[in-house]
Amino acid sequence: MKRIITLIISVILLVTLFAGCDRALNNEKIKVVTTVFPIYDWTENIIGKNNDDIDLTMLLDTGVDLHSFQPTAKDILTISDCDVFIYVGGESDEWVEDALKEAHNKDMITLNLMEIIGENALSEELKEGMQDEEEHDEEEHDEELDEHIWLSLKNAKIATSAIAEALGEKDADNKENYKKGADEYIEKIDNLDSLYSEAIDNADYKTLVIADRFPFAYMFRDYGLDYYAAFKGCSAETEASFETIIFLANKVDELGLKSIIKIETSDGAIAKTVKNNTKQKNAEIVSLNSLQSITEKEKSEGADYLKIMTDNLNTLKKVIYK
């Protein structure tokens, strides 16, 4: 993979070497590139949706999630010539290092958000009953950090402040405007964070069953929720073993849960099988949105980070109350 990206970069550099010129002299827009949708939406709220001075691009806009993304030559070119590049920074972003190494714009500001949240980053957890990945070589048993940092509103506030600082560093004339945009957006995040806390503090159920991958570790950590799940958040598994199905079904019965959770991209097959192996066989299957696969079409139709996180809260309310 690295060789392929290096070759792509080499070709692109031949094209871009003579194409670049100072944006300030040419009165060009500042080019900001983000990877996943949550970062795009945070950035758009900071700069304002009608800002004509910034060209904002979301790289992962086809519905592929972070773990499956492989950059095209066009993607590498977009990054190579941008002014600010903002990305998650987890294991799925290993390609970024090669892409940035030979970037055409040597004054580019890069923002690795996993580095920004620092000690708030969580390691992926192998919980009781969870189906483990197929056995790997011992070298591959290193701790893997959970990349789904955007599913924490607390992380969103940290990231929003950092993005505003990066934009202000690149565009000093509008630094105060970016700070103002960030402050106003963080206030909205704070309001939603309070609603989550209030709802979950009064929950009847604080241990839930997710018959799917589990990308919600940051959300659950923030509000003191516990869980049992079929797979880890970054798992590539799609079929659960009989043992995992029965374990989760027994947990639904044991905890007296009325709902089973899946993620938005799942067909729900595992959740249905778990449901059919419970005693009552009447649990409702509900979806939480992991915001991993928002498309350009959804974005153009008004997809919104805070709205989706509000929808997630409303879904949780169905699950955590009797």
**Would you give per-residue pLDDT tens digits along the chain (322 residues)?**
545 445 444 444 444 443 444 444 455 899 999 999 999 999 999 999 878 889 999 999 988 888 889 999 999 999 999 999 999 999 999 999 988 887 888 899 999 999 999 999 999 999 999 987 654 444 455 678 999 999 999 999 999 999 999 999 999 999 999 999 999 999 999 999 999 999 999 999 999 999 999 999 999 999 999 999 999 987 777 789 999 999 999 999 999 999 999 999 999 999 999 999 999 999 999 999 999 999 999 999 999 999 999 999 999 999 999 9
Per-residue model confidence (pLDDT) at position 104? 81
CA–centroid distance for 272 within its chain: 26
CB 271 within 8 A of CB 212: yes
CB 79 within 8 A of CB 8: no
Single out the residue of 216, 226, 235 nearest to residue 257, CA to CA. 226
* Phi/psi at 23 (5° precision): -65, -35
Q: What share of the chain is helix, strand, coil (3-state, %, to 5)?
A: 50, 15, 35
* Phi/psi at 85 (5° precision): -120, 125
CB 321 within 8 A of CB 287: no
Amino acid at residue number 220: F
Report the largest interatomic distance among the alpha carbons of the chain, rounded to a whole angstrom.
Answer: 71
Q: Which residues are CB-neighbours of 173 under 8 A, at least 6 positions away?
A: none
Residue span(s) of the chain under CATH 3.40.50.1980 come to 2-22+31-120+146-192, 203-290
**Arch. (CATH architecture) of 203-290:** 3-Layer(aba) Sandwich (3.40)
3-state secondary structure of 231: strand
CA–centroid distance for 273 within its chain: 28
Per-residue model confidence (pLDDT) at position 9? 46
Over 235-304, what HEC string results? CCCCCCCHHHHHHHHHHHHHHCCCEEEEECCCCCHHHHHHHHCCCCCCCEEEEECCCCCCEHHHHHCCCC
Which residues are 112's β-sheet partners? 87
Say how many CA atoms lie within 13 Å of 318 toward its Cβ. 14
Q: Please tell us whether the domain made up of 2-22+31-120+146-192 is placed in CATH 2.60.40.1120.
A: no
Say how many CA atoms lie within 13 Å of 127 toward its Cβ. 20
Which residues are 87's β-sheet partners? 112
Amino acid at residue number 80: S
Kind and range of the H or E run holding 8: helix 2-16
Say how far apart CA 261 and CA 316 lie, in whole Å.
9
Say how far apart CA 112 and CA 116 lie, in whole Å.
6
Say how far apart CA 60 and CA 62 lie, in whole Å.
6
The token pair at 95 is 């390609």
Per-residue model confidence (pLDDT) at position 134? 55
Amino acid at residue number 64: V
How many residues are listed for the chain in this entry?
Answer: 322
pTM: 0.89
The single residue listed with the structure tokens 């993979």 is: 1
